[in-house]
Amino acid sequence: MKKSDNPIPYMKHKITNEDKEYVLKALESDFITQGPFVNEVEEEMAKITSKNYSVMCSNGTAALHLVAEMLNQKLQKDKKNIITTSLTFVADANFGRYINADIKFADISNDTWTISPESVFDAIDENTIAVVAPHYAGLMCDIKAIETICKEKNIYLVEDACHAPTAIRNGIVSGSTGDASIFSFHATKHIGSGEGGVICLNNEDQRDKLNTLRSHGLPHWSKRTGFGYDINELAFNYRPNEVSAALAYSHIQRLDSLIQSRKKIAKIYDENLNWNYFTKQYVPENSTHVYHLYPVLVPEAKVRDNCLEFLKDSNIFAQIHYPPINKMTGFKNYYSDSKNAEEIGSRVISLPMFPQMTDDEIDFVINQLNKFANN
């Protein structure tokens, strides 16, 4: 079997000289944690999402946890549930578990593979306190329809925009809707600082609460008076460090270029893969895809492992995004309307997708996939 000389992972991080300069600047400053670069990232992310405020924290999961805790303290309901989908990362479902809420899994659309507004509507009951609506692979869900539902029902909407910074659907920019939007700066993401996350929102009181919750219950320095402080609640240490913030800031400065590189790779996949065998994600009109992932479906679940093994033997390391959460041991007993999510989750493969992929690497991945399809 033909094999790539070097491994081709599904993603690869690249550190540029500019990245190193920003990180060195942080290391040589008076700040290692929560310094000027954290402030810069917060300002930049607020601009990108057209939100009034943003709060950076240690990672995307911490961002979800902080919003969940803030909402739980505000509502103080014993019986409660949250709605998300099972074709996402487990952190979205854990939003509910953090605050002892039941989880309801809404289904996805069978063509865009994003959370279905109709299924969200059907899952809502009198105990629903929040919807966590993730975008998928770089394509936005119909977040406007979900926002309309949440406003009518007075339900808190969290837009999980981790996969889709700057993506657009029907004129709406990713991260600009909902009560809070979440981004991750994990190494695999468009803005990859190793670890990091941010919450974007419009409500100043909620911003202040999140600042307090991320730092042991201490009020933000800008809100303190005198030399002492008082703490009256259980909180966390989810503070961001300045080095990660410097790297995130550097990536934000070249975010458009990073996304254009991903789009170029996606276009080559679009034009050359065997679409009589594989199925690609449908991108609706008036939508832009920013390709955090490039997912395809094999015809049947039973051939997926064979395909992944074939690619692995070729030194190509594709991934699965995602095994449906509702089928996992810790989540089997929750409400689930997940027919499409289970079907897509059993057939999906994420192909290599990173900005510095070479033409030879892209061609090799395509040739090996088409060879598998034709066997």
What DSSP letter does each residue of 56-73 carry, written as one string?
EES-HHHHHHHHHHHHHH
Residue 231, pLDDT above cutoff 90: no
Domain co-membership, 236 together with 266: no
Domain that holds residue 43: 17-253
Residue 1, pLDDT above cutoff 70: no
Domain co-membership, 195 together with 322: no
Residue 226, pLDDT above cutoff 90: no
Domain co-membership, 228 together with 290: no
Domain co-membership, 319 together with 239: no
| Strand order through the sheet with 168-169 | 172-173, 168-169, 287-288
Q: How confident is the model at residue 201 (pLDDT cuts 50, 70, 90)?
A: very high
Domain co-membership, 45 together with 136: yes
| Strand order through the sheet with 197-201 | 53-57, 197-201, 180-184, 156-160, 128-134, 81-85, 102-106, 335-336
Q: What is the mean pLDDT of residues 296-306?
A: 98
Residue 21, pLDDT above cutoff 80: yes
Torsion of CA 72, 76, 81, 87, to 10 degrees: 0
Domain co-membership, 37 together with 69: yes
Cite the beta strand spans of 3-63 per DSSP E: 8-9, 53-57
Give me the pLDDT at residue 289, please.
Answer: 98
Domain co-membership, 248 together with 265: no
Domain co-membership, 92 together with 230: yes
Domain co-membership, 308 together with 293: yes
For residue 2, tell me if it sits in a domain: no
3-state helix, strand, coil in the chain (%, to 5): 40, 20, 40
| 164-184 pLDDT tens trace | 999 999 999 999 999 999 999
DSSP character string of 170-209: TTEETTSSSSEEEEE--TTSSS--SS-EEEEES-HHHHHH
| 36-73 pLDDT tens trace | 999 999 999 999 999 999 999 999 999 999 999 999 99
The CATH number that applies at residue 336 is 3.90.1150.10
The CATH number that applies at residue 239 is 3.40.640.10
Domain boundary among the residues 237, 253, 269 is at 253
Q: What is the mean pLDDT of residues 130-151?
A: 98
Q: CB of 207 within 8 A of CB of 64? A: no
| 251-270 pLDDT tens trace | 999 999 999 999 999 999 99
pTM reported for the whole predicted model: 0.96
For residue 12, tell me if it sits in a domain: no
